[in-house]
Amino acid sequence: MTTFLKQRTFPKPSLEWLRSPWSILVSVILGVYIGTSLPAVAAAIAPIGNLYLGLLKMCVLPILLSAIANSLGRLMQSQNAKQYVQRILIVFPTAMVAMSGLAAVIAAITGPGRNLSAATLESLGGLVNQSSIDLEMSLSGPLPVEESGANLASFLVNMVPENIFLALSEGQTLKVLIFAIVFGVSLGLVKGSKTESLFDILDSLYRSFNQVIHWLTYLLPIGLCSLLATQLSQIGLDVLLSMVNFVVVTLIIFAMIYAAATGVISWRSRRSPLVVLQALKDPTVLALATTSSLACLPAAIASLHEDLKFDRQTTDLVTPLSITLCRFGSIIYFAAATMFVVQLYQKSLSLSMILIVIVGSVFAGMATSGVTGILTLTMLGLVLDPLKLPLDAVLVLFVAIDPIINPFRTLSIVQTGMATTAMIADVQTDAQPVASPLV
């Protein structure tokens, strides 16, 4: 009997069920219920979601620095350096202008700010003039929205880190990104084999923190439930009803961009859309749950390289650049929001105004790199100021609905960033297309 028990093998307990779609679905349903019916419970479990989000963000800067510096350095030493740099310089600007133009055109055609009822206008006016203590405290500080030229100039100047250690300690993502690019290029231009040990260290650093991210995916249902409940408890029904036209149009635009980005990834990876959606499950859920595009960065890189078999070196380089610098979701949102304000104030559109919206939204979206909260929305002033439209009068409207929009804006940043990477990276030649996500 003892020998039989020794020879018999028992299955090891597995935690993979925590990463299954069913666990995620249960956590979503529970989070919706708590957020809409039990606001006190949502407030009580909010620290759990914040802790989970903090653990994810803890890994972002080390992965960002090591992945970009290592990939860019090796890329500069490869024979294909010129080819990939040319692709980036073509794809990035073209994609940003295209996304901004598409959002502006759709918003202009659908007209979410036109022909609003008297009741809706009255509700919007009440939101603008409401006296909420928390909101007044958030908006009473000096916001950089008065001079668009000064904002843009300040953004360009502040991209360069005077002290990289200070930038790392303060989580200034854009400055760390610029440092990683400069460091990676210079490292790649150093001749000889003296840099190989440093490349190995950067690679080990990347793999270590990527392993931490993998462990954290087992806690995703808990973090997702807490974050979702907290967000939903902050949304008022009156805000949703008064801004319903803009919210619906914006979500439709995000859905169209998501579908188009999925199609691009499917085409470039030579896999069916269902296989692509299954492969990108982790970054999609993280984007909706955490509303942090940087927290999704490791999962996005892993999905593109490990699941869809895109070239690792290019994926490690381009994905952080596209998600951190291009900010497609913010560009799309700013273009749609500007068109809403133009229609709300009943200003006639000219070709020059549309061009200002498109180009201004690109710069405003890029300026949100490393910016969170209300300051993200204040970058809308970069677009509204040249159009002689007031930001202060409408900012509170966008602040009020941001808990609804923010998850989908983040998802658009991540999904479109991955599609941009797919346009630049090549699929590994030994990768075989997968027929079905169920196989």
- Per residue in 12-66, pLDDT (tens digit) is 556 666 767 677 778 878 887 887 788 888 888 888 888 877 787 777 778 777 8
* Torsion of the alpha carbons at 94, 95, 101 and 102, rounded to the nearest 10: 140
Q: How far apart are CA 70 and CA 398, in angstroms?
A: 39
Q: Where are the alpha helices (DSSP H) in 270-327?
A: 273-279, 281-290, 297-302, 312-321
pLDDT greater than 90 at residue 357: no
What is the gyration radius of the CA atoms in the chain, in angstroms? 23
pLDDT greater than 90 at residue 258: yes
pLDDT greater than 70 at residue 133: no
Selection from 278, 223, 290, 243 nearest residue 112 by Cα: 243
Mean pLDDT computed over 253-271: 92
Q: What is the pLDDT of residues 343-353, one digit of tens each?
A: 887 787 778 78
pLDDT greater than 50 at residue 152: no
Percent of the chain clearing pLDDT 90 (strictly above): 12
Q: Lowest mean pLDDT of 68-72, 262-266, 278-282, 331-335, name the range.
A: 68-72
pLDDT greater than 60 at residue 398: yes
Structure tokens, 408: 């989908």
Q: Quick one: which H or E segment has residue 50?
A: helix 39-58
pLDDT greater than 70 at residue 392: no
Neighbouring CB atoms inside 10 A of 136's CB total: 11
Q: Give the pLDDT confidence score for residue 2 in this predicted structure.
A: 53
Highest mean pLDDT: which of 11-20, 127-136, 351-360?
A: 351-360
**What is the crossing angle of helices 312-321 and 173-189, to 10°?**
140
Domain limits of the chain? Answer: 20-424
Tally the residues of the chain: 439
Under a CB-based contact definition with an 8 Å cutoff, are residues 332 and 412 in contact?
Answer: yes
Q: Give the pLDDT confidence score for residue 131 in this predicted structure.
A: 36
How far from the centroid of its chain's Cα atoms is residue 280's Cα? 14
* Torsion of the alpha carbons at 181, 185, 187 and 192, rounded to the nearest 10: 160
Under a CB-based contact definition with an 8 Å cutoff, are residues 228 and 38 in contact?
Answer: no
Structure tokens, 321: 């650049």
Q: Which fold has domain 20-424?
A: Proton glutamate symport protein (1.10.3860)
Selection from 335, 350, 332, 342 nearest residue 390 by Cα: 342
| Category of 143 on φ-ψ map: left (φ > 0), alpha (ψ -120 to 50) or beta | beta
Residue 371 confidence class, pLDDT cut points 50, 70, 90 = low
Q: Give the pLDDT confidence score for residue 419 in this predicted structure.
A: 93
Q: Give the pLDDT confidence score for residue 121 in this predicted structure.
A: 60
Residue identified by tokens 């490349």 is 199
Mean pLDDT computed over 402-428: 87
Q: Give the pLDDT confidence score for residue 292 in this predicted structure.
A: 79
Q: How far apart are CA 144 and CA 230, in angstroms?
A: 29
Q: How far apart are CA 161 and CA 274, in angstroms?
A: 42
* Torsion of the alpha carbons at 156, 158, 161 and 165, rounded to the nearest 10: -150
Residue 137 confidence class, pLDDT cut points 50, 70, 90 = very low
Give the pTM.
Answer: 0.66
